[in-house]
Amino acid sequence: MVTIDSILPVAGRKRIYLASASPRRRALLKDLDIEVEIARTIEVDESYPDDIKAEDVAPYISGKKATAYDGIIDEDSILITADTVVVAGDKVLGKPADRNDAMEMLRTLSGQAHRVITGVTLTTAGKRETFSTVTNVYFDHLTDDEIEYYIDRYSPFDKAGAYGIQEWIGCIGISHIEGCFYNVMGLPLHDLFDHLKKF
């Protein structure tokens, strides 16, 4: 009988930890059939230098999150940290501060294409590797009524760009994407699995 350990040997040799408070990332990892434990939460300053390129923000923050666990992860463990940002033009959209901020973010994305970038860092006691995945997302025009309905019903304040592709706004507003769907949800499963096989 084929097991996940024979497909992904590292899963049988090391304990895999996810350092994330995101319930979506936890649920997504279950879809890979990998046994994952949740690392204890360590608060990390998610600021970044003003002169950093927009496409480098997510991997930069993912690496910062990994650094917080230096000295904690042992040789028998792999730590996964991740960060997702939405980039509209050259503007980085993180999580909205409040309802008005969420409204402005969705108005910015309405009728436009944007990039969703997730940075992922894999860490062991002696090795660290960071990669990023980009998905292009295309929104149709959104009315203020549609935006208000979504925000008031779904409270997307924990989501980069103030939306979840798997929620109502994604169903009615996103015409198409180029790239990984799961990346827009917060974890690029194909690329993560591929990097774990090689790690």
Where does residue 161 fall: left (phi above 0), alpha (psi -120 to 50 degrees), or beta otherwise? left
- Taking the CB of residue 51, how many other CB atoms lie within 10 A of it? 5
Write out the E strands in the chain.
Answer: 15-18, 36-38, 77-88, 91-93, 113-123, 128-139, 174-178
Catalytic choice (31, 70, 76, 83): 83
To the query of whether residue 140 is one of the catalytic residues in this protein, the response is: no
Indicate the pairing of strand 174-178 with strand 15-18. unpaired
Tell me the one-letter amino acid at 83: D
Adjacent-strand bridge partners of 86: 93, 116
**How far is residue 176 CA from its own chain's centroid?**
19
CA distances from 195 to 28, 86, 122, 130, 153 (A): 16, 23, 9, 10, 37
How many whole angstroms separate alpha carbon 106 and alpha carbon 170? Answer: 12
Residues annotated as catalytic are 83
